[in-house]
A and B are shown apart, each in its own frame.
Chain A
Amino acid sequence: MSRTKILGRLRFGDMLFRNLTRAAAILVLIILSGVIISLINGALPALQAFGFNFLLEERWNPVTEKFGALAPIYGTLVTSFIAMMIAVPIGLLIALFLTELCPMWLRRPIGIAIELLAGIPSIIYGIWGLFVFAPFLQRTLQPTLIGWFDNVPVLSALFEGPPYGIGVLTASFILAIMVLPFVTSISRDVFEAVPPVLKEAAYGVGCTTWEVVRYVVLPFARVGVIGGVMLSLGRALGETMAVTFVIGNAHRVSASILAPGTTISATIANEFTEAVGDLYTSSLIALGLILFVITFVVLAAARYLLLRLEKRVG
């Protein structure tokens, strides 16, 4: 009798544990749907008041309660774009160095150092950008750029105005430094997945290191690298604190990348606790919803590409 009792208890314990873990897994799904539902719910008043124009209007006026998301959306996309333009080539080069050129004993320490750079909280980049990097740019790079492109037709508009130090360009630089470790470590993993036989065969027929990289490593790793770049882009789009410090928080779309601007996350971080009135709060939540949708699409695409690569390799 006691044996069936013990067996029954064991079976009950097994079932309990199984369902407990299952519930935890389902909870993750509930969290994501909760995020989406609560954002839509909070954004509804603003979306009803402004409709589709919310995406296209530049005005952001808390006094008259007229809000439009164009300036933050534009700022988010431009800073992330410039950041990726800087970080992707450098990140790829570092990954190539680590997988193809670096002496064995140096690979691990450099790899760890790059990953530590990824662990530094964004607020540290922010405070460093504000007190050290922005004044440095204000004194050196920005006046030079303004001087160089003063008389060039289109580019003079791009580099126009007084050198504030803070602004879109500075924010892009900081973002680039922040996503660099992500680009590097993902590309390194992808490059390492290239079968050594392929590379050895290429070296065997007399290819130089550059030719091996250009004609063997890069074509093989292309999908993975694109996936990694998009994953990093997702990070850059949603990055808040580092950008908030150095972007200047001006609600306008300017042609010059030296001018202050704003991004979606910086606007929310700066204004949310001070927002009075339901429409103001709701507009900020609507901004959060837009940001979430953009990053969701980018990250989902990145995951899809990386998953395809994993299937091919495995």
Chain B
Amino acid sequence: MSLSVTATVVGLGWLVLILGSLVFEGVSGVSLAVFTEMTPPPGADGGLLNPIVGSLMLTVLAVLIGTPIGIMAGTYMAEYGKYATLTVVVRFINDILLSAPSIVVGLFVYEILVAPLGHFSGWAGGVALALIVIPVVLRTTEDMLSLVPKELRESATALGLPLARVIRHVSYRAARAGIITGVLLAIARISGETAPLLFTALNNQFFSTNLNAPISSLPVVIFQFALSPYADWQKLAWIGALIITFAVLALSITARALSASGKSS
């Protein structure tokens, strides 16, 4: 049984090792310039302004598209069609989409949005990320709404409220912390996604907020810069990795704290 203690130490050791080397390689380069200057050509100084802005825009777009669809579908499954065949099928399909390879999502969006329009665009990148948001939000919404005690719904219905109002004013309110947790987890998930962006949003070495044109994003820039032979590009890749990791860790910890506070109250 001492083997399992060793295994735990090894597992936690990796976490420390990875975070340690990230901080070691990245933290010395973090400065104001990283957030105010654009990606440089090899050999020059610069920052990560355009990929940071691009990543934020793509994330917001994906959340705006994906969250309503995910919440709506989750609502149907938990409230209206709890025992419907459609619910069972969608739950199964959704679980598969949840762990489906994200690069396949990229190929799909390329086929429907990039190839027919003839150019890469921020819209396509946002849609690709939204397709990853939907299963995460759907799953948590359904789970959280199922946890709402049915007595709450029954008493609201007994007062004469139609079901749509019961859901919006009673169920949603009771499950709010859980649903927000789901959205935060979805943001954490997409903020590091690279594969679906490679051939949808592509990349852009200039500052651009035009969603109709290729747009830069942090993960893709990290990918490109890390594999380049230039030392200063590799340095920027480490800094970008550090930023993403801490953003993701902060989001997951917030989500966890939120769901813990929701349970206790």
Contact = CB atoms under 8 A, between A and B. Distances in A.
Interface of A: 10-11, 13-14, 16-18, 20-29, 31-32, 34-35, 38-39, 41-42, 89-91, 93-94, 96-98, 100-102, 110, 112-117, 119-128, 130-132, 177, 180, 184, 209-210, 213, 231, 234-235, 237-241, 244-245, 265, 268-269, 272-273, 285, 288, 291-292, 295-296, 299-300, 303
Given A38-B112, A120-B245, A121-B245, 17 more contacts: A31-B134, A42-B107, A42-B111, A101-B5, A110-B12, A117-B11, A119-B189, A121-B248, A127-B226, A127-B238, A131-B238, A180-B14, A273-B198, A292-B104, A295-B100, A299-B99, A300-B92
A100 B7 CA distance: 14
B244 interface: yes
A interface secondary structure, majority = helix
Interface stretch (B32-40, B42-50, B70-78): B70-78
A133 to B, nearest CB: 9
A173 B69 CA distance: 37
A124 B167 contact: no
Contacts of B22: 124, 128
Contacts of B97: 28, 31-32
B108 A38 contact: yes
Contacts of B8: 93-94, 97-98, 102, 110
Interface in B148-183: 162-165, 167-168
A239 B245 contact: no
Nearest to B142: A25
A180 B11 contact: yes
B18 A21 contact: no
B105 interface: yes
Interface of B: 1, 3-8, 10-12, 14-15, 18, 21-22, 25, 68-70, 72-73, 75-77, 79-81, 86-87, 89-90, 92-97, 99-105, 107-108, 110-112, 131, 134-135, 138, 162-165, 167-168, 188-189, 191-195, 198-199, 202, 219, 222-223, 226-227, 234, 237-238, 241, 244-245, 248-249, 252-253, 256
Contacts of A245: 226-227
Nearest to B98: A299
Contacts of A27: 69, 73
Contacts of A213: 1
Contacts of B10: 90
A209 B223 contact: no
A300 B104 contact: no
A269 B198 CA distance: 7
Given A123-B194, A303-B95, A116 B4 contact: no
A93 B11 CA distance: 10
28 contacts: A11-B162, A14-B162, A17-B168, A20-B72, A22-B86, A24-B75, A24-B76, A25-B86, A25-B87, A28-B135, A32-B96, A32-B97, A114-B15, A116-B249, A120-B245, A121-B193, A121-B244, A121-B245, A122-B192, A123-B194, A124-B192, A124-B245, A127-B238, A210-B1, A238-B100, A238-B101, A240-B195, A265-B195
Contacts of B90: 25-26, 28-29
A124 B243 CA distance: 11
B108 to A, nearest CB: 5
B18 A101 contact: no
Nearest to A9: B162
A300 B163 CA distance: 34
A180 to B, nearest CB: 6
Contacts of B199: 272-273
Contacts of A240: 101-103, 194-195
A285 B8 CA distance: 40
A292 B99 CA distance: 11
Contacts of A23: 72
Given A21-B72, A265-B195, A123 B244 contact: yes
B192 to A, nearest CB: 2
A174 to B, nearest CB: 10
A184 B10 CA distance: 13
B246 to A, nearest CB: 11
A186 to B, nearest CB: 11
List 6 A-B pairs, minimum CB-CB distance, nearest first. Answer: A121-B192, A238-B101, A24-B72, A93-B7, A21-B76, A17-B164
